Amino acid sequence: MDNTINDVHSVLLEMLQWFHHQCEKNGLRYYIVGGTMLGAVRHQGFIPWDDDIDVAMPRKDYLTFIQKYTKESHFPYTVEYPQNDNLDYPYVFAKVYDVRTSLIEHTRHLVKRGLYIDVFPLDGIGDSYESACDNYQLILKYLRLHDMSVCAFRGNRKWYKNASIILGRMLSPLFVSERFINNKINRLCEQRNFDSSEYVGNLVGNWGIKEIMPRSFFGNPKEYTFEGITVLGVERPHEYLKSLYRDYMMLPPLEKRVSHHDYVELNLKKSFLK
């Protein structure tokens, strides 16, 4: 890839500013989450080696955003989500793509789109931590089945993870399709309302059980400065970030300051539509 991390950050920042403006204009709640929230607190912007943007919306706002922005043209951005008609879309959450760019991700079936920001739904999961964790177990099983069916085999991954992927590829087509798994995960996640549950979370996020936390951690969206622009994040950042990362202000060792994405190709000057 000939693109520098600064080039990638520039495109992503423009996308985030657009997303923030659309949510503000339409009265939709959102929060920057995960590494983007960590970057806002620890770096006042991007984590220097990070190359993505993560936002999350309460399910009601998430569905409103999807319904509006998949039906209308908003060049240069387009929105995709799991329940649309694109059978090559393997994710269990929505993405906003920049159609002026092209990006190929290394999944089981190469996904050819553009540079993106991830848009996750936030759902209720229980009224106590114990019940929330119990309710999450079935979702977690389907998420693992999903990962086994769509992830790519990689030489640098631990052997038992590659073995589970191979097993998943052999078994899942015999019993359920990828689309069935995607739909099942979404139906399970949306069973409980975000605004009336004591415990909530990004139930399809990367951190598993750590994603489950009191709704008060999210609270009312709070303004943060991110690379000079205004964005909205969680109301209680210390509690939120400690839940995910523990000692979140400590930088990781040098060898871990790398992107965790596996891109086959990224071109910021070429549209994937061409």
What is the chain written as a DSSP string? Answer: ----HHHHHHHHHHHHHHHHHHHHHHT---EE-HHHHHHHHHTSS--TT----EEEEEHHHHHHHHHHHTTS-BTTEEEE-TTSS-TT---SSEEEEETTSEEEE-BSS-EEE--EEEEEEEEEEESSHHHHHHHHHHHHHHHHHHHHHHBPP-TTS-HHHHHHHHHHHHHHHHH--HHHHHHHHHHHHTTS-STT-SEEE-TTSTTGGGG-EEHHHH-S-EEEEETTEEEEE-S-HHHHHHHHHSSTTSPPPGGG-S----EEEEETTS-TT-
For residue 241, give the CATH number of its domain.
3.30.460
Q: Which of 83-87, 91-95, 158-162, 270-274 has the lowest mean pLDDT?
A: 158-162
Q: Is residue 178 part of a domain?
A: no
The pLDDT score that the predictor gives to residue 174 is 46
pLDDT at 189 over 70: yes
Does residue 99 lie within any of the structural domains? yes
Does any domain span residue 39? Answer: yes
Weakest-pLDDT range from 53-62, 95-104, 119-128, 152-161: 152-161
Per-residue pLDDT for 266 more than 50?
yes
Average pLDDT over residues 120-129: 98
Tens-digit pLDDT profile for residues 23-45? 999 999 999 999 999 999 999 99
Flag whether 12 is in a domain: yes
Domain that holds residue 250: 5-122+201-267
pLDDT at 63 over 90: yes
| Residue 155 placed within a domain | no
Please tell me the total count of domains within the chain. 1
Say yes or no to pLDDT of 153 above 80: no
pLDDT, position 73:
82
Confidence of residue 171 (pLDDT cuts 50, 70, 90): low
Question: What is the reported pLDDT for 175?
Answer: 53
Predicted local confidence at residue 173, as pLDDT: 53
Q: Which pLDDT band holds residue 149 (cuts at 50, 70, 90)? A: confident
Is residue 19 assigned to a domain? yes
User: Does residue 75 sit within a domain?
Assistant: yes
pLDDT for 70 beyond 50: yes
164 falls within a domain: no
> Of 3-7, 96-100, 212-216, which gets the smallest average pLDDT?
3-7
Residue 263: which pLDDT band, with cuts at 50, 70 and 90?
Answer: confident
Encode pLDDT of 98-124 as tens digits: 999 999 987 667 889 999 999 999 999
